[in-house]
A and B are shown apart, each in its own frame.
Chain A
Amino acid sequence: MPRPDRDGSEPLIDLRGVSRHYEIGGGTVKALDEVDLRVHPGEFVVILGASGSGKTTLLNVIGALDTPTAGSLLIGGREITGASRRELFALRRHEIGFIFQSFNLFPGLTALENVQFGADVAARPDPRAAARDVLERVGLGDRAPHFPHELSGGEQQRVAIARALAAGNPIVLADEPTGELDFATGVQILELLHDVTHTAGTAVLVVTHNREIARVADRIVELSSGGIVADEPNVPAAMSDLRW
């Protein structure tokens, strides 16, 4: 059962005592250890942590790409631990959008078609129009017929963001989205994600090891050794104040 927070709103993502342990070489690696986390619609959360802190595992568990070894996970109020493979695929189609560090665009599709892919998969009505609309919103309306190899890194990542947004799903998970970009482009991407969070009411979780990025978040969750060591609200800094 979903638990309403003190302000009465129901969390979109609700992790309760979630652990993810791996058995490697006769020992146990605790990638996540009894993590509790709730994220609401319209929140821009940055998960911060050093390499090996468990932040990517956390993102994978929330994205239903990995399953917890203990605890429970509710997405949109629905318990998904123990869900079937088919249910997990459906959940990803209708609840979650992904943005990856290395973009992972489909090289055989144009920018518009890559974005349309998100809308197609989520079975949105008129996916072509939805894709064109989102592509305009990320400022790439004029690059619609171009293939990924004809776009710059920043443009490719904006297309990837547009693909995640075109699905129209309430959660967007971004794994090091600025990792391969220069500073200026990275800032543009963060601005974009920030806008999306507040205009569409989407919950955006960004995983990064970069503290400067964390400054733009509404909330910063810090991980260390698989556990949350800090979870604080944050007053987002202006993009112009960021220093790489």
Chain B
Amino acid sequence: MARGPRFWLRWSWRDLRTRWPLVVAIGLLLAGGIGLAAGLASMRDWRIGSNDASFGALRVHDLRVEAEEGAYAPAGALERAASRIAGADGIAAATERLISPTQIDASAAGRTVITPGQIIGVETEPAREVDGVEVSGPSVDSIAIRDGRGLPARGDEPVGVLDPQYADENGIEAPARIRVAGGGTVAVSGLGNSPETFIVIGPGGSFSSEADFGTVFVPLAAAQRLTGRRDQVNDLAIALEPGADPERIAARLERRIGRELPGFAMSVTTTADIDGRRILYDDADNDQQLFDVFAFLILAGAAFGAFNLISRTVEAQRREIGIGMALGVERRRLAVRPLLLGLQIAIVGVALGVLVGMAVNAWLRGLLIDQLPLPFVDSDVRWGRFAARAAIGFAIPLLAAGWPVWRGLRVTPIEAIRVGFRTARGGGLAPLLARLPLPGGSLAQMPSRNVMRAPRRTLLTVLASAAVISVAVSMSGMLDSFRATVDRNDAEELRMAPDRLAVNLAGFMPADAPELRGLDDPAVAERTAGRLALPATLRSPGGEEIEVVVETAPAGTPIWSPRASAGSPPRGPREILIAASAATDLDVEPGGRLTLIHPERIGRDRFRTAATPVTVSGTHADPFRFPAFMSAAGAATLGLDGWINAIDLVPPRGVDEDAAKRALLTRPGVATIESASALGDALEQGLDEFAAVIRVVVAIAIVLVLLIAFNATAISSDERAREYATMFAYGVPVRTVLRMAVIESLIIGLLATAAGIGLGLLILSWVINVSLEEVLPELGIVGSLSFGTLVLAAIAGAGAMALAPLLTVRRLRRMDVPSTLRVVE
């Protein structure tokens, strides 16, 4: 028995030659798991790296003085105030801005584009270049130019830079001309964005889609002319010197501005308050958690599958191991051959896994560059993470081979050699089923008995498939949940008037202001109703705060009014109706007390921030967290009795949305016009892009399930060869044998589907209640699993499993029945 390693290697090589399809198939299964896990593992690093590079290169502000809606300061006043605080030497740069909502008409021949947007007037500096990208505009919160030219260093011409995402979505190329509210025109010289507009955030912090909300950067003086705010600003962006204390400077700045500009309601925010930045960073972390879960599940699926299949293959060698034991071969030598099989699979799995991983990496990098709204993308391959996944993938088949070898070597030689050892060794859990009065004859009973016969194998196959199916279910379920949320929002917003338009005014106006009279014209609107809508904060007695947009009930013909799903609508001046998710987050119930922190008008263009105790009258049915409603009497609480800044409008019959928007665009006082369902539409559009990623992952998951199913079936078919041959000897047709194999596989597939759906629901629940709750708490996502997702899971699980035996039909037809009947093992 003193054979050297060459003997075992030669034998193993022969094994490989006879078994290479199986080795490749299991290797592919592992490769899919390793590749996807490795590819997904780099996402966070890429995104954080890209975020750092982009925010850094454009010198994102450390502090920002942000005026409340309707508040303005004389140009230069904010910069002066900042320069006078104690410790002003901690300020490296400061730049004033004028940010104003507007309506953009970018229509051209064959294209109608009329959407809400914002004009950002900025001080301009000479352009510089960072990593081959032109950086233009102000010294803080600069603009990265993607196409065309940036803003001129000097001048006050209405030359602008347009958000590239908005331009791409609407087919706009630079140079172009766009019209803005009030009738002004901007010559778009280039496309570019700045740190605050990487993620499109609409007025009041609401979400908008890239197609439906445009940002145009223009020189400050041009913005002042376009918006009728000559020599006024409402924003100051500040970059601090390294080591400066932002909190201390912010506090001093707030006090200084309060003293120098009384009535200028504002807040000083930090980098951390930039919604888009928070989303980009939090999203990267939370998405990575999600990707890690998915990667783990896919790798677990591959591991279970590989373990199951290798175990079964090694068990098939058990008789040979027994013969070796009987001949006195040392156990460690007997272990070499099956372990070499594991090694072969490990090598194939990792080699192919590297290729799959590279492909997944390339795909994800392309997707990032395409989808991430960042001017600087860091997508270098993270070899460390890649290697870690590959190492796990390498270890799995070795462990998977080790376990059955260990078990095999514990059997006595006589047991291992015994004829029929494998087939007659036990009925597993089949006796349990034997006591159930199942219908049909012996042939009908056989598939379910076979499932129960080897419960450990069945369980491993079910777990492998279920892990992968759960990825498909949870990812698809995320789409379902977003869609269900949007549908519920649409159902609520469009409840009373499906074609309702929301018109945001250029500022606060008396409800009977002369410039609004024209909106009552029957040619413009069938019905109108004015209201207030302004951003505010709700604070619970425990100190928890959430941002909301408070709307007052319409004054005039009601086109839309909120309804309470719990409690009652607001009636008194200090009652508020909030979202159920807001009530949960603030830990308050109808009748409970909150503090509303809101701008309060104290004079023309003068506001202060006020804190008013309010009572929660009830909760509304909108799933989004930020809408909050007060009665018409609530306007007095906000210091805006008799004033409005938004109008609900129903276009005349026969006038479509675009025509209505065009007619309203030139009306004085009108800033933006959008459908009442714009927010839902924006989310829907965002989902379509997300859906592309999900579809690819789901497709990979289905391929993995197919591989698991095919491998399991191929090995089952080998193990059952003698049973099939016996059936053929008794004249059972191939189609009947095949049908039995399909039914057996289908039962396993159904079990895997049920387990996959259950596990997928758990993951979905975690995603919605933990992960998304952190990143997008404003949305109040409603958990949902559509019929389509269940069908997808059934196709991926039961369908793939049931189809797999059909791939063995050729082998069954060509079976050498006499030889198979005589071959003992």
Question: Nearest chain B CB to A23's CB is how many angstroms away?
Answer: 15
Asked if B807 lies at the interface with its beta carbon under 8 angstroms from chain A, I say: no
Asked if B817 lies at the interface with its beta carbon under 8 angstroms from chain A, I say: yes
Partner of A98, one of B449, B452, B723, B729: B729
In the bound complex, what is the Cα–Cα distance between A5 and B726 (angstroms)? 34
Contact A60 B442 (CB under 8 A): no
> Which residues of the partner chain B approach A93 to less than 8 Å between Cβ atoms?
730-732
Contact B731 A116 (CB under 8 A): no
Asked if B240 lies at the interface with its beta carbon under 8 angstroms from chain A, I say: no
Contact A108 B424 (CB under 8 A): no
Asked if A113 lies at the interface with its beta carbon under 8 angstroms from chain B, I say: yes
> Which residues of the partner chain B approach A98 to less than 8 Å between Cβ atoms?
726, 729-730
> Given A102-B420, A147-B427, A147-B430, is A63 in contact with B729 using a C-beta cutoff of 8 Å?
yes
In the bound complex, what is the Cα–Cα distance between A92 and B453 (angstroms)? 28
Contact A104 B818 (CB under 8 A): no
Partner of A180, one of B419, B423, B822: B419
Contact A104 B443 (CB under 8 A): no
Asked if B733 lies at the interface with its beta carbon under 8 angstroms from chain A, I say: yes
Partner of A103, one of B420, B427, B730, B818: B420
In the bound complex, what is the Cα–Cα distance between A67 and B426 (angstroms)? 36
Contact A110 B424 (CB under 8 A): no
Asked if B484 lies at the interface with its beta carbon under 8 angstroms from chain A, I say: no
> Given A108-B427, A148-B424, is A100 in contact with B824 using a C-beta cutoff of 8 Å?
no
> Which residues of the partner chain A approach B442 to less than 8 Å between Cβ atoms?
106, 109, 113-114, 116-117, 120, 127
In the bound complex, what is the Cα–Cα distance between A90 and B728 (angstroms)? 10
Asked if A167 lies at the interface with its beta carbon under 8 angstroms from chain B, I say: yes
Which of A107, A116, A127 has most chain B Cβ within 10 Å?
A: A107
Chain B contacts with A in 421-448, Cβ cutoff 8 A:
423-428, 430-431, 434, 441-443, 445-446
Question: Nearest chain B CB to A186's CB is how many angstroms away?
Answer: 15
Q: Mark A150-191, 1 if CB is under 8 A from B, else 0.
A: 000000100000000001000000010000100000000000
Contact B733 A89 (CB under 8 A): yes
The closest CB in chain B to the CB of A64 belongs to B731
Contact B427 A149 (CB under 8 A): yes
Which of A94, A108, A116, A175 has most chain B Cβ within 10 Å?
A: A108
Number of A-B contacts defined by CB within 8 Å: 108
> Given A93-B730, A102-B824, A149-B424, is A66 in contact with B434 using a C-beta cutoff of 8 Å?
no
Chain B interface residue number, banded: 35 or more
> Which residues of the partner chain A approach B443 to less than 8 Å between Cβ atoms?
117, 120-121
Asked if B107 lies at the interface with its beta carbon under 8 angstroms from chain A, I say: no
> Which residues of the partner chain B approach A106 to less than 8 Å between Cβ atoms?
442, 446, 723, 726
In the bound complex, what is the Cα–Cα distance between A60 and B818 (angstroms)? 7
Q: Mark A82-103, 1 if CB is under 8 A from B, else 0.
A: 0000100111111011101111
Asked if B722 lies at the interface with its beta carbon under 8 angstroms from chain A, I say: yes
Asked if A202 lies at the interface with its beta carbon under 8 angstroms from chain B, I say: no
Q: Mark A48-78, 1 if CB is under 8 A from B, else 0.
A: 0000000010001001011000000000000
Asked if A139 lies at the interface with its beta carbon under 8 angstroms from chain B, I say: no
Question: Nearest chain A CB to B570's CB is how many angstroms away?
Answer: 68
Partner of B732, one of A114, A121, A145, A149: A121
The closest CB in chain B to the CB of A110 belongs to B434
Which of A66, A98, A114, A120 has most chain B Cβ within 10 Å?
A: A120
> Which residues of the partner chain A approach B445 to less than 8 Å between Cβ atoms?
109, 113
Contact A92 B729 (CB under 8 A): yes
In the bound complex, what is the Cα–Cα distance between A80 and B718 (angstroms)? 30
Asked if A41 lies at the interface with its beta carbon under 8 angstroms from chain B, I say: no
> Which residues of the partner chain A approach B420 to less than 8 Å between Cβ atoms?
102-103
Question: Nearest chain A CB to B815's CB is how many angstroms away?
Answer: 11
Asked if B450 lies at the interface with its beta carbon under 8 angstroms from chain A, I say: yes
Which of B420, B453, B733 has most chain A Cβ within 10 Å?
A: B420
Partner of A108, one of B425, B449, B728: B449
In the bound complex, what is the Cα–Cα distance between A114 and B822 (angstroms)? 19
> Given A113-B442, A120-B443, is A90 in contact with B818 using a C-beta cutoff of 8 Å?
no
Question: Nearest chain B CB to A241's CB is how many angstroms away?
Answer: 29
Contact B818 A147 (CB under 8 A): no
Question: Nearest chain B CB to A31's CB is how many angstroms away?
Answer: 11
In the bound complex, what is the Cα–Cα distance between A106 and B420 (angstroms)? 11
Contact A118 B730 (CB under 8 A): yes
In the bound complex, what is the Cα–Cα distance between A149 and B418 (angstroms)? 13
Question: Nearest chain A CB to B818's CB is how many angstroms away?
Answer: 4
Contact B419 A107 (CB under 8 A): no
Contact A117 B434 (CB under 8 A): no
In the bound complex, what is the Cα–Cα distance between A149 and B425 (angstroms)? 6
Contact A117 B818 (CB under 8 A): no
Asked if B821 lies at the interface with its beta carbon under 8 angstroms from chain A, I say: yes
> Given A105-B424, A108-B427, is A90 in contact with B446 using a C-beta cutoff of 8 Å?
no
> Which residues of the partner chain B approach A127 to less than 8 Å between Cβ atoms?
441-442
Chain B contacts with A in 155-185, Cβ cutoff 8 A:
none
Contact A116 B441 (CB under 8 A): yes
Contact B817 A65 (CB under 8 A): yes
In the bound complex, what is the Cα–Cα distance between A120 and B740 (angstroms)? 14
The closest CB in chain A to the CB of B427 belongs to A147
In the bound complex, what is the Cα–Cα distance between A215 and B818 (angstroms)? 27
> Given A56-B822, A107-B427, is A121 in contact with B730 using a C-beta cutoff of 8 Å?
yes
The closest CB in chain A to the CB of B825 belongs to A102
Q: Mark B699-731, 1 if CB is under 8 A from A, else 0.
A: 000000000000000000000001101111111
The closest CB in chain A to the CB of B813 belongs to A85
> Which residues of the partner chain B approach A103 to less than 8 Å between Cβ atoms?
420, 424
Partner of B821, one of A100, A108, A148: A100
Question: Nearest chain B CB to A9's CB is how many angstroms away?
Answer: 26
> Which residues of the partner chain A approach B423 to less than 8 Å between Cβ atoms?
107
Which of B428, B442, B732, B821 has most chain A Cβ within 10 Å?
A: B442
The closest CB in chain A to the CB of B817 belongs to A65
> Which residues of the partner chain A approach B824 to less than 8 Å between Cβ atoms?
102
Chain A contacts with B in 117-146, Cβ cutoff 8 A:
117-118, 120-122, 127-128, 145
> Given A60-B818, A147-B430, is A65 in contact with B729 using a C-beta cutoff of 8 Å?
yes
> Given A56-B818, A63-B729, A91-B731, is A120 in contact with B441 using a C-beta cutoff of 8 Å?
yes
Contact A109 B449 (CB under 8 A): yes
Q: Mark B203-222, 1 if CB is under 8 A from A, else 0.
A: 00000000000000000000
Contact A121 B446 (CB under 8 A): no
The closest CB in chain A to the CB of B441 belongs to A120
Contact B722 A104 (CB under 8 A): yes
Contact B452 A108 (CB under 8 A): yes
The closest CB in chain A to the CB of B722 belongs to A104
In the bound complex, what is the Cα–Cα distance between A116 and B424 (angstroms)? 19
Question: Nearest chain A CB to B741's CB is how many angstroms away?
Answer: 13
In the bound complex, what is the Cα–Cα distance between A11 and B427 (angstroms)? 42
> Given A56-B818, A121-B731, is A109 in contact with B723 using a C-beta cutoff of 8 Å?
no
> Which residues of the partner chain B approach A147 to less than 8 Å between Cβ atoms?
426-427, 430-431, 434
24 pairs, A vs B, C-beta closer than 8 Å: A56-B822, A60-B818, A65-B821, A89-B731, A92-B731, A100-B821, A103-B424, A104-B821, A106-B446, A107-B425, A107-B426, A108-B428, A109-B442, A109-B445, A113-B434, A118-B730, A121-B730, A121-B731, A127-B441, A127-B442, A145-B434, A147-B434, A148-B424, A149-B425
Given contacts A65-B818, A90-B731, 17 further A-B contacts (CB under 8 A): A56-B818, A65-B817, A89-B732, A92-B731, A102-B420, A102-B824, A104-B723, A104-B821, A107-B424, A108-B453, A109-B442, A120-B441, A120-B443, A127-B442, A149-B424, A156-B424, A175-B821
Interface on B for A, CB 8 Å cutoff? 419-420, 423-428, 430-431, 434, 441-443, 445-446, 449-450, 452-453, 722-723, 725-733, 817-818, 821-822, 824
For the complex of A and B, 4 pairs with smallest distance between CB atoms: A93-B731, A108-B449, A92-B731, A117-B442
